[in-house]
Amino acid sequence: MRWGRHRHLPHQRWALSCFLYSSSLSLSSCSSTPLSAPSQSRSQSRTATCFITGGSSGIGLALAHRAAQEGACVSILARSLKKLEEAKQSIHLATGIEVATFSADVRDFDAVKKAIDEAGLVDVLVVNQGVFVAQELENQELDEIKFMIDVNLIGSFNMIKAALPQMKKRPNGGPASIALMSSQAGQVGIYGYTAYSASKFGLRGLAEALQQEVIGDDIHISLVFPPDTETPGLEEENKRKPQLTSIIAASSGAMKAEEVAKKTLNGIKSGSFIVPCNFEGLLLSLATSGLSPQRSVLMAFVEVVTAGLLRFVGLCFQWNWYGSIQSWHAQKKSKLSTK
CA dihedral of residues 168, 216, 50, 272 (deg, nearest 10): 170
Burial class of residue 169, CB neighbours in 10 A (0-12, 13-18, 19+): exposed
E strand residue ranges, 106-242: 124-127, 176-181, 219-225, 229-230
Set 196, 197, 199, 285: catalytic member: 196
Count of beta carbons in the 10 Å neighbourhood of residue 71: 14
For the question of residue 182 being annotated catalytic, the response is yes
Whether 204 and 274 have beta carbons less than 8 Å apart is answered as no
CA dihedral of residues 285, 290, 294, 297 (deg, nearest 10): 90
Bridge-partner residues for 225, per DSSP? 276
For the question of residue 196 being annotated catalytic, the response is yes
Whether 115 and 90 have beta carbons less than 8 Å apart is answered as no
Q: How far are the Cα atoms of 200, 204, 309 from residue 105, in angstroms, in the given order?
A: 18, 22, 44
Contacts 24+ apart (CB under 8 A), 276-280: 276/24, 276/225, 277/224, 277/225, 277/226, 277/227, 278/2, 278/227, 279/6, 279/17, 279/21, 280/2, 280/3, 280/6, 280/184, 280/227
Set 200, 241, 263, 269: catalytic member: 200
For the question of residue 263 being annotated catalytic, the response is no
Residues ≥6 apart with Cβ < 8 Å to 1: 183, 184, 185, 190, 227, 228, 249, 251
Whether 257 and 231 have beta carbons less than 8 Å apart is answered as yes
Set 36, 182, 183, 270: catalytic member: 182
Please give the positions annotated as active site. 182, 196, 200
